[in-house]
Amino acid sequence: MQPTRTSPDMPASSPRMWRRFYENTKGFFDGDVFYSFSRSPLTILAFVITMAMFFAAIFAPWVAPYDTYDLRSLNLMDAYKPPAWSPGGEAEYLLGTDDQGRDVLSAIIFGLRISLLVGFSGVILAALVGTIMGLLSGYFGGWIDAVIMRIADVQLTFPAILIALMIDGIASTMMSSQARADFKIYVIILAIAASLWVNFARTVRGSTLVEKNKEYVQAAKVIGIHPLLIMIRHVLPNVMGPVLVIATLSLAVAILTEATLSFLGVGVPPTNPSLGTLIRIGNDFLFSGEWWMSIFPGVMLVILVLAVNLLGDWLRDALNPKLR
Amino acid sequence: MLDFIVQRLVQAVFVMLTVAMISFSLFQFVGDPVNNMLGPEATAEQRLAARETLGLNDPIPVQFTKWVGNAVQGEFGQSYRMGRPVSDLIAQRLPATLELVAVSALIAVFVGVPMGVYTGLKRNSFLSKIFLTVSLIGISLPTFLIGILLILLFGVTLGWLPTFGRGGLTNIGNWETSLLTARGWSHLILPAITLALFQLTLIMRLVRAEMLEVLRTDYIKFAKARGLRQRSINFGHALKNTLVPVITIMGLQIGALLAFSIITETVFQWPGMGLLIIQAINFGDIPIMSSYLVLVALFFVIINLVVDLLYYVVDPRLRIERTAGAH
């Protein structure tokens, strides 16, 4: 499974639009936002940590000391080894080994890969669906707006984790157990996206309502440009700021949701364990004193989510003109 | 006021019907329940008879109406896995979850609000900075990890508190409560703290943000200029005006507590509804899943209604505007 590199998720369009997008982004980084970034050591630290984790996840086969997918490398004689610095630990296994002799550090790096893959895919899907829904809802208004926003209202009353759990439950009753193991990861991505799209839709709708009445949109309408083109080429670039903020904060939520689902045993299957799965497996050994199996993946998860949250908080403040 | 309540009630009925439809459609996803109930040896006549008695030959809208009619009376059918009426199972598990959620909500409010007020008033004190740092970590810590850490600390390392299940139960009618004995509380306290921590940090951060906002307003400056006592400014004027958003979030969070209780109950093997639903999801036990969905939706709708009504209690402006609009 190749990790997908994420680019700003824009619908395919003309090269001109991309050039303009590039120019917008260029100005963006020369301006206030980058300045506020360079002035906040905590944000820089969060950024470095996040990037380091992305790097480790993408290049996991090269970064990790052992390939945990390669069953031949596992040796049951090496099972239950504590971390290297405690008595009985070995330098080869920095963070110890699990019940099957798997290196915990390597398992964490490969788990990070799954967690980030699921988190990113879920957020991108949610952002795509939510942005489209928000644009349609805000631009056209009327019954389209009414229907989309009523759905959003109903869904917003339920917490993300419950929606994801229910979608997962429905999917598992519909599929055979083999299909379940194969498609589980897609079900989780879908479940996460379904629980997150509302935030995007509501925000984009709000911004679209504001943009819709501005002169440039009115002018574009008068020239007779197709509404879809107006939405994609004129409104969309101007509502991307909030989308970026929500996407960052949603990534933290998505990673936590995935970890929680996996911990509950309804998430990604143990054949390719995510951080949540690792914590669940390690949890069974907590009482017998092998704390490292669950605590280290847990610490990794918290650091990742904390760093992403810090980045999101900073981005929200940096893009908020009120606080400048 | 009245048309507002009616409008909200209509919305609530709409939500409940939507959820009921989703819950009902769950049954369409699984195979023929007759096969499950009669086994492979049944004859074709027996199957037909069973289909007739179960009402499976009726058109879907008729089935849906019947199902809603039964649900309103608390009849959700039999659990596929345990062969007992779902209503019995839920009635048995409900007290455990409700007690857990109630205690957690109380902890979150009665610790979170004072902490928020304190960090809002004494923005630069050392203690405030500690609270804020801890709250940032608290928001990034998943519920299940908090549970694991608490178990590790108080259960395994210190050995002070039990780490799973309920204990020290007293029966009051059909309600098994753990609130009346010290042992019951010792079982309850770790799960309750686990569940409360996230909401606590959320409430604290919200109250702090609102306090900072309110303290900047002119009427607070005016109150200071009038020479009112600091206490009455802080609590009578400032805190009171932060309550509207805080109540909204709390309402939503009680719902979230119900959802997160699934996780806490799994970590601590707390025999409530959350554990029931996780098992049901793993086994594809549709009647339990659908009835849980309906029940949780009902809780949410009721909480939202109560929150909307509470606005009127805390915000006099709403009352005035509505009456002014009516004239």
pLDDT in tens, A187-228: 888 888 888 888 899 888 888 888 888 888 888 888 888 888
| pLDDT at B194 exceeding the cut of 80 | yes
Note whether residue A58 is domain-resident. Answer: yes
From chain A, pick out residues whose CB is under 8 angstroms from the CB of B297.
157-158
Q: Give the least confident one: A165-174, A202-211, A212-221, B125-134.
A: A165-174
Note whether residue B288 is domain-resident. Answer: no
Cβ within 8 Å, pair A294-B148:
yes
pLDDT at position A124, please?
94
CA distance A10 to chain B (A): 29
Note whether residue B300 is domain-resident. Answer: no
Cross-strand partners of A296: none
Residues B112 and B212 in one domain: yes
Helix/strand/coil (H, E, C) string of B7-28? Answer: HHHHHHHHHHHHHHHHHHHHHH
Backbone angles phi, psi at B78, to 5 degrees: -100, 145
**pLDDT band, residue A125 (cuts 50/70/90):** very high
**pLDDT band, residue B288 (cuts 50/70/90):** confident
Q: Determine contact: B148 vs chain A, CB below 8 A.
A: yes
From chain B, pick out residues whose CB is under 8 angstroms from the CB of A266.
278, 281-282
**pLDDT band, residue A162 (cuts 50/70/90):** confident
Q: Give the least confident one: A142-151, A204-213, B65-74, B266-275.
A: B65-74
Say if CB A164 and CB A261 are below 8 A apart. yes
Tokens of A235: 């409104």
Cβ within 8 Å, pair A173-B26:
yes
Secondary structure of residue B177 in the 3-state scheme: strand
Q: Determine contact: A37 vs chain B, CB below 8 A.
A: no
Note whether residue A9 is domain-resident. Answer: no
**Of the partner residues A161, A170, A289, the one whose CB lies closest to the CB of residue B29:** A170
Note whether residue A1 is domain-resident. Answer: no
**Of the partner residues B19, B145, B282, the one whose CB lies closest to the CB of residue A265:** B282
Residues B120 and B41 in one domain: no
CA distance A28 to chain B (A): 28
CA distance A120 to chain B (A): 17
Question: CA A317: distance to chain centroid?
Answer: 20
Say if CB B29 and CB B307 are below 8 A apart. no
| pLDDT at A182 exceeding the cut of 50 | yes
From chain A, pick out residues whose CB is under 8 angstroms from the CB of B144.
259-260, 263-264, 279
Say if CB A264 and CB B279 are below 8 A apart. no
Quickly tell me which residue has 């919200």 as its tokens: B206
Secondary structure of residue B257 in the 3-state scheme: helix
Note whether residue B200 is domain-resident. Answer: yes
Number of domains into which chain B is organized: 2
Note whether residue A109 is domain-resident. Answer: yes
- Sign of the CA dihedral with A105 first, then A261, A76, and A72 last: negative
| pLDDT at B202 exceeding the cut of 90 | no
Residues B245 and B278 in one domain: yes
Q: Which of residues 224-263 of A touch B (CB under 8 A)?
A: 252, 256, 259-260, 263
Helix/strand/coil (H, E, C) string of chain A? Answer: CCCCCCCCCCCCCCHHHHHHHHHHHHHHHHCHHHHHHHCCHHHHHHHHHHHHHHHHHHCHHHHCCCCCCCHHHCCHHHCCCCCCCCCCCCCCCCCCECCCCCEHHHHHHHHHHHHHHHHHHHHHHHHHHHHHHHHHHHHHCHHHHHHHHHHHHHHHCCCHHHHHHHHHHHHHHHCCHHHHHHHHHHHHHHHHHHHHHHHHHHHHHHHHHHHHCCHHHHHHHHHCCCHHHHHHHHHHHHHHHHHHHHHHHHHHHHHHHHHHHHHCCCCCCCCCCCHHHHHHHHHCCCCCCCCHHHHHHHHHHHHHHHHHHHHHHHHHHHHCHHHC
Cβ within 8 Å, pair A298-B277:
no
Tokens of A234: 């004129």
Give the pLDDT mean for A62-73. Answer: 69
> Largest alpha-carbon pair distance within chain A?
77
Q: Determine contact: B310 vs chain A, CB below 8 A.
A: no
Residues B232 and B139 in one domain: yes
Note whether residue B171 is domain-resident. Answer: yes
Q: Is the pTM of this model over 0.80?
A: no
Q: How far apart are the first and last CA of chain B?
A: 13
CA distance B113 to chain A (A): 22
pLDDT at position A180, please?
66
Residues B124 and B262 in one domain: yes
Q: Taking CA atoms, what residue in B is nearest to A167? A: B281
Residues B44 and B186 in one domain: no
CATH number reported for the structural domain that contains residue A308 in this entry: 1.10.3720.10
Higher pLDDT, A98 or B103: B103
Say if CB B242 and CB B254 are below 8 A apart. no
- What's the ipTM? 0.73
Note whether residue B322 is domain-resident. Answer: no
Pairwise CA distance, residues B261 & B103, whole Å: 12
Q: Taking CA atoms, what residue in A is nearest to B164? A: A287
Residues B151 and B241 in one domain: yes
CATH number reported for the structural domain that contains residue B231 in this entry: 1.10.3720.10
Note whether residue A15 is domain-resident. Answer: no
Higher pLDDT, B43 or B291: B291
**Of the partner residues B18, B163, B259, the one whose CB lies closest to the CB of residue A154:** B18
What does the CA dihedral A181, A182, A186, A192 come to, rounded to 10 degrees?
10
pLDDT at position A130, please?
92
Pairwise CA distance, residues B309 & B319, whole Å: 11
Say if CB A56 and CB A112 are below 8 A apart. yes
pLDDT at position A249, please?
86
Q: Which of residues 150-209 of A touch B (CB under 8 A)?
A: 150, 154, 157-159, 161-162, 165-166, 168-170, 172-174
Tokens of A279: 């914590």
**pLDDT band, residue A58 (cuts 50/70/90):** confident
Domain that holds residue B120: 90-283
The residue type of B161 is L
pLDDT tens by residue, A6-18: 444 444 556 776 7
- B145, B300, B307: best to mutate for the A interface, most A CBs within 10 A: B145
Q: Within 13 Å of residue A276, how many CA atoms lie on the same side as its CB? A: 29
Pairwise CA distance, residues A165 & B185, whole Å: 30
- A165, A293, A323: best to mutate for the B interface, most B CBs within 10 A: A165
Tokens of B121: 């008033």
**pLDDT band, residue A5 (cuts 50/70/90):** very low
Residues B18 and B53 in one domain: yes
Residues B192 and B61 in one domain: no
Cβ within 8 Å, pair A172-B284:
yes
Domain that holds residue A314: 41-64+94-323
Residues B57 and B157 in one domain: no
Say if CB A64 and CB A111 are below 8 A apart. no
Quickly tell me which residue has 């933290």 as its tokens: A252
Higher pLDDT, A137 or B246: A137
In this prediction, what percent of chain A has a pLDDT beyond 90?
5
| Cα separations in angstroms, B106 against A159, B111, B257 | 20, 8, 11
Cross-strand partners of B43: none
Higher pLDDT, A63 or B39: A63
**Of the partner residues A170, A264, A279, the one whose CB lies closest to the CB of residue B26:** A170
Q: Which of residues 225-254 of B touch A (CB under 8 A)?
A: 252
pLDDT tens by residue, A229-239: 888 888 888 88
- B7, B140, B149, B195: best to mutate for the A interface, most A CBs within 10 A: B140
Number of domains into which chain A is organized: 1
**pLDDT band, residue B276 (cuts 50/70/90):** confident
